[in-house]
Amino acid sequence: MAFGFSLGVALILSVWLTANCTVIPDGALHMRCHDRYFMIAAELSFTGVKPRFEAVDKADVFPITEQYAAKCGYSVSVLLLRGQVELRASYFSCHTDNKDDEVFTFNFNLITTHEGKDVTYALNKTCSPSLPWSPREVTCEANYMEVSVRSEVTCPSGTKDDWNALKPAHSSITSDWQVMFQRAEEQLPPMNMSIARKQGYVFDVTDGRVVFRTRYGQPDSFNTKMNGVPVEVVHATLFSRQSWIVLMIDLVAACSMYEGSYEDSGYMVWEIPEVLYPGLDSTQLSFGLNGELVEQAVAEDKGYIVEKHNATVEISIPHDADGGYRKSVVIDKLYEFYIFHLSFEQILVDEDRLETRVRFQRTLATPLLPRPVFTENQIVLEERTFTVYLGGVPADVELAAIYLNGQECTAPFTNASRHNVTQVVHPNNTHGYILKVPFDDPAVQLQFYKEAAVLEYGLYINFSLTVVPENMFYYHLASIALTTSVSPPAFDAVCSESGISFKLDHRPYDYLWEISIGSDLLTSELAAQHGYIMSNDSQSLLLDVPLFTHGYEYKNITLEEFFGTFEILVRDPETSEVQSSTVKTCPFTATELIMCSTDGRMTVVADLPLAIPDGDPARITLIAPYCGPKEADGTRVLFSFPFNSCGSTVKLGRENVSYENEIFYSHLNMNETLSNTTERVKIQCTYPLAGLHRLFSAYKFESDTVGFGKIIHTTEPLSGLQSPTIRPTVALTTTWAAKRPAGTPAAFQPAAHPPARYVRVSSIRNLFSGLRKGASQVKVDAAQL
């Protein structure tokens, strides 16, 4: 307790400014007549930290030292938390001009030091306390005990005193006043007034009263405990023998020395035994802070609690009572303490209703109480922002800086672009700060826990708080982690006329996956190689996949339309395992296309140079005349057939195997053959040998990859039919398509070619009828084997 107080003193002492003028500024000085004392309060900002007082009377000037104050009824205290120095002077203090115990005139000098020079301010005030003096008045001041009794007393109903104890008075041979102290049961030898004064006791006689004052801890007083409460008692008996009359005045002051205790419930408790003055009954209590006395009931309305336990009166002051002072302190941790300047008055009466008024001035201080500031996590997941509330910050503590994962952001925070700090002030004299840090802030640490498929956002905050005005620093640490389950990235896809567009908005943790097309990692090189249009910035990845580029699959091919499907795979970079995929299927139209499936099937939409004769598609066939189109319209036909049928020929090369067929017109109106040239429509699928299985061991086609398809439109002169050379005019080709992923059906992995413009020449198809021999022919190029 004392520690907290003196620490506070030391801390605050260093910060007060000294004023620099000799006129007392407005509001810097207050003088007030209280019921039982006169008070001067001066602002420390005006007086500096070490003001001095002198008591002035007609004769002289008396510096009020600590010792002199206790002896003469002055009490000076520097109240750092209040920012004042306070002098309280008893109405019976040594150098006060007392007229009839009714008008009291005080004269003081206040001496302050400015720039090494003393400046003296003469202060005076006259007080006439309105409260009449009780027959007996006891004051337990901070530094002394004072008792005054009315010197004229109407004779009480009887005396119960032990006359034996007063023997020395009886046997006294001098008329001079002497004093005799009693300690507990022990009677001390009498001493004359001059000895008593030397020992620091003051006896005084005013118009109507006898006054006795002593500092605490004199050898003639004694300390005891009443009901467990420490009490100091001084019991002096003044006597004078005047012939056969012995005058005796009994002067007793008993003061509770209880320093106060702090209850966890938040109350500062002060105790006073009921039996301080045996034989008297308490009639009335009043108390309050900073010299303001209020009656018990009023105080109780304000939250004070008065209880009697074990013949002890307990007064409980709420820690946040008005008029209390609190201060924050840092000693490794953040603490606070409270100081209360308690005034207390008790009226006691004896059986003749003679009043004793007992007054206390006590300063109570709580011990250092831990003052936890706290952080609350107020994450709003949708905002993707850490919102941290730092609360319970006392009024004399400010946020100086914030360290986020060691990175400093110093106050003021008004324009911190990424982190936002707002202050929240509460009516109970605490405040808080709201810190907002977006998840994508560089200070936020990301950690991926693969097994659990969760991502952890971690924020380690070191709040740097400072206690003002001393600038003691305190660091409050908070570490916040938020885990969210994460899913592999998924693209948005939209169809366009010419292809499919994919879009991926980047997330900070997308690096945890890799993106591939088939088995190939998507890179800008891959995109360039396959003709994808890729753009990638910090926000998003855009991938435009034009129709007929590598990676498409085609389905439900009709002459009107077909469906193209493109798939983007998301893989675990370590295991290459596919974690998710985005598949988009779009309807397209094209004049021509060819697909060579992995199960040995060719599907072709071909645009023929001549209108289909008589609109009868049956007249258009492959090499085998029984193989007609599945569909046909004005000039376009759709064929779909296995390689091992329809008269296809196989050409086996060193690396590739090719299957070829051709589209013919049969039963042509000869008139149409008049043209001197014809156009041949050859269709071809080529597969790399390495990717083929069981081509020769079983009569079954199975390829790892779709084939490379071509529709070859050639024009050649009629006579040129015999010529071994064929000039290709336009060759519509496909590219190698993606490898068939394991587990997907082998059927229907098409390849296609981009729509092409080509020269259309009238042709006579039946000139090729000689080739129509039914079953496939195998032409092995011996030179290449």
Ligand X SMILES: *[C@@H]1O[C@H](CO)[C@@H](O)[C@H](O)[C@H]1NC(C)=O
Binding site for ligand X (CB under 6 A): 124, 176, 192, 194-195, 227-228, 310, 391-392, 403, 414-415, 420, 422, 426, 428, 430, 462, 464, 475, 477, 511, 515, 522, 536, 538, 541, 555-556, 563, 585, 653-656, 671, 675-676, 686, 708, 717
Buried b (16+ CB within 10 A) or exposed e, 590-621: bebbbbbbbbbbbbbbbbbbbebbeeebebbb
What is the C-alpha to C-alpha distance for residues 306 and 326, in angstroms, rounded to an integer?
23
3-state SS, one letter per residue, for 566-590: EEEEEECCCCCCEEEEEEEEEEECC
Looking at beta carbons only, is 124 or 487 nearer to ligand X? Answer: 124
β-pair partners for 677:
717
- What does the block give as tokens for 135? 């027959």
Looking at beta carbons only, is 227 or 649 nearer to ligand X? Answer: 227
| Least distance (Å) between residue 255 CB and ligand X | 19
Contact 435, 388 (CB under 8 A): yes
Looking at beta carbons only, is 154 or 538 nearer to ligand X? Answer: 538
| Least distance (Å) between residue 8 CB and ligand X | 19
Looking at beta carbons only, is 546 or 653 nearer to ligand X? Answer: 653
| Least distance (Å) between residue 254 CB and ligand X | 16
Contact 517, 569 (CB under 8 A): yes
Looking at beta carbons only, is 171 or 422 nearer to ligand X? Answer: 422
Contact 522, 543 (CB under 8 A): yes
What is the C-alpha to C-alpha distance for residues 734 and 687, in angstroms, rounded to an integer?
12
Phi-psi region of 723 (alpha: psi -120 to 50; beta: other; left: phi over 0): beta
What is the C-alpha to C-alpha distance for residues 658 and 758, in angstroms, rounded to an integer?
23
Nearest to 288 by CA among 300, 273, 271: 300
Contact 519, 691 (CB under 8 A): no
| Least distance (Å) between residue 104 CB and ligand X | 13
Looking at beta carbons only, is 464 or 749 nearer to ligand X? Answer: 464
Residue that has been written with the tokens 């506070």 in this structure: 8
| Least distance (Å) between residue 194 CB and ligand X | 5
Other C-beta atoms within 10 Å of 756: how many? Answer: 14
| Least distance (Å) between residue 58 CB and ligand X | 10
Identify the three-state secondary structure at position 188: coil
Looking at beta carbons only, is 351 or 505 nearer to ligand X? Answer: 505
Looking at beta carbons only, is 294 or 668 nearer to ligand X? Answer: 668
- Closest residue to ligand X, based on beta-carbon distance: 676
Q: At CA 206, angle to CA 204 and CA 208, rounded to 5?
A: 130
| Least distance (Å) between residue 286 CB and ligand X | 25
Looking at beta carbons only, is 267 or 708 nearer to ligand X? Answer: 708
| Least distance (Å) between residue 585 CB and ligand X | 5
| Least distance (Å) between residue 6 CB and ligand X | 25
| Least distance (Å) between residue 41 CB and ligand X | 16
Which amino acid does the sequence have at 660? E
Contact 288, 301 (CB under 8 A): no
Q: Which residues contact 160 (CB under 8 A, 6 or more apart)?
A: none
| Least distance (Å) between residue 149 CB and ligand X | 24
Looking at beta carbons only, is 217 or 728 nearer to ligand X? Answer: 728
Longest dimension (CA), the chain: 177
Which amino acid does the sequence have at 317? I
β-pair partners for 294:
287
Nearest to 210 by CA among 101, 103, 129: 101
Contact 96, 315 (CB under 8 A): no
Burial of 565 by CB count in 10 Å (0-12 exposed, 13-18 middle, 19+ buried)?
middle
| Least distance (Å) between residue 132 CB and ligand X | 27
| Least distance (Å) between residue 279 CB and ligand X | 17
153 — phi, psi (to 5°)?
A: -125, 130
Looking at beta carbons only, is 414 or 485 nearer to ligand X? Answer: 414
Looking at beta carbons only, is 222 or 403 nearer to ligand X? Answer: 403
Looking at beta carbons only, is 445 or 676 nearer to ligand X? Answer: 676
Contact 732, 604 (CB under 8 A): no
| Least distance (Å) between residue 770 CB and ligand X | 21
Identify the three-state secondary structure at position 352: coil
User: What is the separation, in whole angstroms, between the first and last Cα of the chain?
Assistant: 105
| Least distance (Å) between residue 434 CB and ligand X | 8
589 — phi, psi (to 5°)?
A: -125, 145
Peptide bond before residue 412 is cis, with ω within 30 degrees of 0: yes
What is the C-alpha to C-alpha distance for residues 96 and 72, in angstroms, rounded to an integer?
10
Looking at beta carbons only, is 129 or 688 nearer to ligand X? Answer: 688
Looking at beta carbons only, is 261 or 462 nearer to ligand X? Answer: 462
